[in-house]
Amino acid sequence: MVQYSRFDALAAFLNRPVGSEGPQSWKLALACFGIALLLCGLGFLALTLPFPWTSDQAVRHWGAAEMTLSRGVGGRTESGLIVRDTDATGIAIISLAPPPFRAQGYRQVTWTVEGSGPDVSAALLWRNDYKPAAMHTTQMQPLGQDRFRAWVADDRDWIGKVAGLALVIKGKPARPLRITAIEVSPRTAGEAIREHVHAWFKFEPWHGSSINSIDARAPALPLPPFAGAVVLCGVLCYAVLAWFMRWRRQFTVYFGIFGLAWLMVDGRWQVSLIEQTRLSAASFANKSLDEKHLAAEDAPVYAFAARAREVLPKEPARLIVTAEDGALRGRLAYYLLPHRAFYETRGGAMPHPSALKSGDFVVALFRRNFQFNPSENLLKWDDYAPIAAELLLLDQGNAVFRIK
Amino acid sequence: MSALLFAVLGVALPWACGGLMLAAAWPSAQGRPSWQLSAAYGFPLGMITLVLWMSLLAAAGVPFSVWAVGSAPSTLGLLAVYVLRTRRTQEANADLAPERLGWQALPRWGQVLWWALLALLLLRGAQFLMELLWRPSFGWDAWAHWATKAKVWYSLGTIVPFGSAAEVLADTAAYTDSNPGYPRAIPLLQVWMALCAGQWDDTLINLPWLAFALALGLGFYEQVRAAGAGPLFAMAASYALLSLPFLGVHVALPGYADLPLAVFIGLASFAFWRWSMERRSGQLILALFLAASSPMIKTPGWIWLGLLLPALLPVVLGVRGWKALLGLGAAGATALFLMAHYHPRLLGYELHTNFHPVGQALLETTLVFSNWHLLWLGAPLLVLVSWRDLLKPPVAALTAYLGGGLAFLLVVFFFSNAALWVADFSTVNRALLHLAPTLVFYCALLALGLRERLRAAPATVAPTTAEAPPAPQ
């Protein structure tokens, strides 16, 4: 028989008037934030990591010293195995013969391949003792610019004892790839958490685009949306708790939950800034202005500009500044001010020789299609007719000319 | 070291001049402004005074020198001191209270938290100062658009016009850079810094960027306190503003005009809001002066100035103002839509009717990347829970202003060639930065409103025996 009186009691309990504010707001905020952090962490794991979350198996790890470049162009260095190019069929293979180990319990294989980009893809090969003659394969997913990963747990051929592993690189790498490690792991919850925290705290120094956006791509689990989910979950927790306990809702609890999440993302940013300060101090601290410029990313441009200024007149003269790269062109022109530099950061074609007049100067930095005939003192660029000029400075292929 | 010392003095002089002028020119009937208000608004005011004076000097053919340029702010500052000493303030108002910072009134734990947040901000500021003093101008625009002019004007001792590259080739202009038509206030400020440093120094010319951030923080704290926030809330909100990574990057890698513009617009909007509440002319004059000066910093300043004026309507006319604003908005949108067929250029952006699906890039940059912490999550949430209050005082003025600003940005992002720069993240954050201080201030106001609503929620009722639920049978 249904005990109606229990429902009456519950209804009465829930409809009772609002009472106190509950525990102190900072305790509530901290508790709700902690619960939300835990729930969101567990929720993320539940969505992305199949059970089991623990394992007795140890992670297996091999370095470049145990790898062999079976196909492709490259070689071994102290820092890893370098793949400069794929072979004629468009692939490179890096193989490894580890001591045989049982596949069961190992769910993920990760190769560390530094320098990889969208120009290359990768596949994992392995051999097991069930069919020793057969080579099994699965596609690997890129993880940032330095890893390829394969989830092998669901592969029907990932069984028995694994006795050989290999990485197949397909495509033409735009720059040399450095293979440094392979890791075969059971992928536990602890491992996943460590990896995400590591990704959050991965330091990226200032670069040319930092002024436009701090990140250009996010890790698998970016911190700001995770913190946002924690806020939403924490606020919900508190709202439900306050409703159930008939507490009067406190602004400071909402504020506290949001503030803690803010401090979480800001803490990460602060750690990154400390690392950046350390890096900048190593490059620039206690240096003169000239030394700072020579420690900066554009030091060769600055150094060439300083040498060019020595052969240019003291009074501002008209210069044609040319370089292949728009940024270098603009930077060189900046260092040569207050000379009257003609340059375009976008485009950058040299003007027709007829636009130049006697007494103008041409400053060329890393510029192709630029020829000077010293015996006849003729300067020629692109497909134009040569014009008379005097070479004032030649410095590692960069030059200053005066138009005659 | 002496160059650094003189550069610091170079920042201090226009700052002190602006602060003193503000205090001296403040309407007597409204008392004297608090030191925080003077200090916050003093820097942009002093800076504008300085660059106007430099423009005058150049027009009169007087070559730039520390003495020639520094004479006007020094004289004006001394004059302001004289006025302040001789003028009798008729009545003190709340602004005079020296304890506006207010941390002393907090309980012990509150004081600890207040100082801890301030210490974190000071640590951040010290890091930015180091970056600023160590690293020569780094960002592209810094040396491609702004410091180019400053370096030439410093070297020649006067302002010379910049033209296109083709004009330089044709000898009809002497100098060129990536944007020869950009306004002159920022380069002139850098000229002044170089004059003070005694040489062209690619680090010291950027010192004012830290001063801009300081002024913004001070002004924000002061105005949030004026909105009725306690010292801890005001400090936490100031921390939220100054800890925004994208704002920090523009201090650490200075030389862009976006942070100064954000400071001008932010301080103007805070003063505008305060005028809407107190109706004291001093704040309105401040708001209009700063907003009117912002086109001298960067061209989009015209837009932010243009949006401030219609935002006056709801403040002055109430509901009728909102109706008028709605009408204006509809008319503007229609006109824009019709004009877009002819691909007009608006501040360098080519408008058209094609929709660019850059929503994902916009969401990534605001919610996923590390540029804004949780600002773009918190702001919509606060707007959502406060939707009933958005059109009423105290936030009506800023609702109108921010609504217009964000609508403008969305039109530009989705219906102009700027979509390309949203997709590659090159411009989108810098455009958002202009409105970020105002948005944080708006969020602080909404949070204060939420606090009041929660406080006004059903009063505590102690259960009595008569009201107690019946005991289970």
Say whether B458 and A208 touch across the interface (CB within 8 A). Answer: no
Give yes or no for a cis peptide into B107 (omega within 30° of 0): no
Considering the domain architecture, whether residues B115 and B200 belong to the same structural domain is answered as yes
Q: Supply the pLDDT for residue A333.
A: 94
Considering the domain architecture, whether residues B181 and B299 belong to the same structural domain is answered as no
Q: DSSP secondary-structure letter at B365?
A: I
Considering the domain architecture, whether residues B292 and B247 belong to the same structural domain is answered as no
**Chain B residue nearest residue A281, CA to CA:** B134
Tell me whether residue B93 is in a domain. no
Report whether pLDDT(A347) > 90: no
Report whether pLDDT(B443) > 60: yes
Residues 345-384 of A with CB under 8 A from B: 345-346, 351, 355
pLDDT in tens, B338-349: 888 888 887 777
Tell me whether residue A271 is in a domain. yes
Q: What is the ipTM of this complex?
A: 0.91
List phi, psi (to 5°) of A102.
Answer: -75, 130
Considering the domain architecture, whether residues B241 and B322 belong to the same structural domain is answered as no
Considering the domain architecture, whether residues B252 and B286 belong to the same structural domain is answered as no
Considering the domain architecture, whether residues A66 and A173 belong to the same structural domain is answered as yes
Considering the domain architecture, whether residues A71 and A26 belong to the same structural domain is answered as no
Say whether B140 and A327 touch across the interface (CB within 8 A). Answer: yes
Kindly give, in sequence order, each residue whose CB lies less than 8 Å from that of residue B404, ignoring residues fewer than 6 positions away.
Answer: B307, B310, B311, B329
Structure token digits, residue A77: 């260095």
Helix, strand, or coil (residue B77): helix
Which range has the worst mean pLDDT, A76-90, A281-295, B359-373?
A: A76-90
Considering the domain architecture, whether residues A332 and A385 belong to the same structural domain is answered as yes
Task: Measure A9 CA to nearest chain B CA, in Å.
Answer: 6
| CA–CA dist A45, A170 (Å, integer) | 32
Tell me whether residue A12 is in a domain. no
Chosen from A10, A24, A211 to mutate, greatest number of chain B CBs within 10 A:
A211
Residues 244-303 of A with CB under 8 A from B: 248-251, 254-255, 258-259, 261-262, 265-266, 268-270, 273-274, 276-277, 280-281, 283-285, 289, 292-293, 296
Tell me whether residue A392 is in a domain. yes
pLDDT in tens, B239-249: 999 999 999 99
Tell me whether residue A8 is in a domain. no
Report whether pLDDT(B459) > 60: no
Residues of B in contact with A331 (CB under 8 A): 143
Considering the domain architecture, whether residues A67 and A156 belong to the same structural domain is answered as yes
Say whether A17 and B467 touch across the interface (CB within 8 A). Answer: yes
Choosing from A286, A317, A349, the residue where a domain stops is: A286
pLDDT confidence tier of residue B100, bands split at 50, 70 and 90 = low
Considering the domain architecture, whether residues B134 and B177 belong to the same structural domain is answered as yes
| Tally of CB atoms within 10 A around A148 | 25
Whether the CA torsion B254, B258, B260, B262 is positive or negative: it is: negative
Tell me how many domains chain A contains. 3
Considering the domain architecture, whether residues B251 and B265 belong to the same structural domain is answered as no
Give yes or no for a cis peptide into A52 (omega within 30° of 0): yes
| CA–CA dist B322, B280 (Å, integer) | 22
Tell me whether residue A4 is in a domain. no
Choosing from B234, B256, B278, the residue where a domain stops is: B256
Nearest to A231 among B245, B252, B374 (CB): B374
Kindly give, in sequence order, each residue whose CB lies less than 8 Å from that of residue A324, ignoring residues fewer than 6 positions away.
Answer: A348, A366, A367, A368
Choosing from A172, A187, A202, the residue where a domain stops is: A187
Tell me how many domains chain B contains. 2
Say whether A270 and B120 touch across the interface (CB within 8 A). Answer: yes
Considering the domain architecture, whether residues B114 and B178 belong to the same structural domain is answered as yes
Nearest to B370 by CA among A141, A333, A276: A276
Per the structure, the complete domain to which residue B162 belongs is given by 2-87+109-256
Considering the domain architecture, whether residues A73 and A181 belong to the same structural domain is answered as yes
Tell me whether residue A212 is in a domain. yes
Say whether A337 and B148 touch across the interface (CB within 8 A). Answer: yes
Tell me whether residue A176 is in a domain. yes
Per the structure, the complete domain to which residue A369 belongs is given by 295-403
| CA–CA dist B385, A37 (Å, integer) | 23
Tell me whether residue A6 is in a domain. no
List the alpha helices (DSSP H) in B257-358.
258-278, 281-297, 301-308, 312-317, 319-340
Say whether A284 and B135 touch across the interface (CB within 8 A). Answer: yes
Nearest to B122 by CA among B243, B247, B261: B243
Q: Supply the pLDDT for residue B465.
A: 43
Considering the domain architecture, whether residues A231 and A175 belong to the same structural domain is answered as no
Considering the domain architecture, whether residues A180 and A199 belong to the same structural domain is answered as no
Report whether pLDDT(A18) > 70: no
Considering the domain architecture, whether residues A181 and A224 belong to the same structural domain is answered as no
Choosing from A133, A161, A187, the residue where a domain stops is: A187
Instruction: Tell me the count of A-B CB pairs closer than 8 A.
Output: 220
pLDDT in tens, B149-177: 999 999 999 999 999 998 998 989 999 99
Strands of the sheet containing A387-395, edge to edge, are A340-342, A318-323, A361-365, A398-403, A387-395, A378-381, A370-373
Chosen from A33, A212, A223, A342 to mutate, greatest number of chain B CBs within 10 A:
A212
Average of per-residue pLDDT across A246-257: 90
Give A278-324 as a 3 state SS string.
HHHHHHHCCCCHHHHHHHCCCHHHHHHHHHHHHHCCCCCCEEEEEEC
Task: Name which residue leads in pLDDT, A213 or A366.
Answer: A213
pLDDT in tens, B232-276: 999 999 999 999 999 999 999 999 999 999 999 999 999 999 999
A169: left (phi over 0), alpha (psi -120 to 50) or beta: beta
Say whether A19 and B377 touch across the interface (CB within 8 A). Answer: no
Nearest to B368 among A224, A258, A261 (CB): A224
